[in-house]
Amino acid sequence: MVRTHGNGLRGFSTLEVVIALTLIAIVSLVSWASTSRITSFSIVALGLIGGHTPTAQEKPARLYTIATEWVQAELEYAHQLGYEGMCTSASCTVYVPSTDCTGAQTQAAPFSAGPSQPAEFPYGRIVVSWDPNTPVDSSTTPSTNYLQLIEVDVYRTQADCQNQTSYLTGYTSVGIR
């Protein structure tokens, strides 16, 4: 505020108001320009994630990401399911979505209720085994170990599945409750 002669105060001058509005306009334009650039970058980045056909250089990384997502989802499903009582022998192998690598027969629940197979990896395998170094629950028939070891393999082709040449393998352990 500008002080005048006498007791009263006067408002802002026109020049001060014009300068203040100009500064606010410049700051607004700069922030809008940077925001629109960030938005454009975000749109481009999201488009790169799933909206275009990958180039030859991008394809291996994209396939690895798809395989990793499915293996991780299957391992999380194994944690939720626990596989307790699903395998009666010391080790069992389950092929998803079919009972073997030929695709002859689809799995029954609960194995069929797991994460859906990605189109790029139509064959998968889950191997459940028991850790021999953990205590055994002898109250069950047959007696079971408390710690199950889970291996999840994903295959690109039927031949890879039959030869047990996995594209990616993941491991976890599940404690029996």
Look at residue 72 and tell me whether its pLDDT is greater than 80: yes
**E runs forming strands in the chain:** 2-3, 9-10, 91-96, 123-130, 136-137, 144-145, 147-155, 168-175
Q: Which pTM was predicted?
A: 0.60
> Span 62-85, mean pLDDT?
81
Query: Beta strands 9-10 and 2-3: pairing type?
Result: antiparallel
Q: pLDDT by residue (tens digit) across 53-69? A: 666 666 888 888 889 99
pLDDT band at 52 (very low <50, low <70, confident <90, very high): low
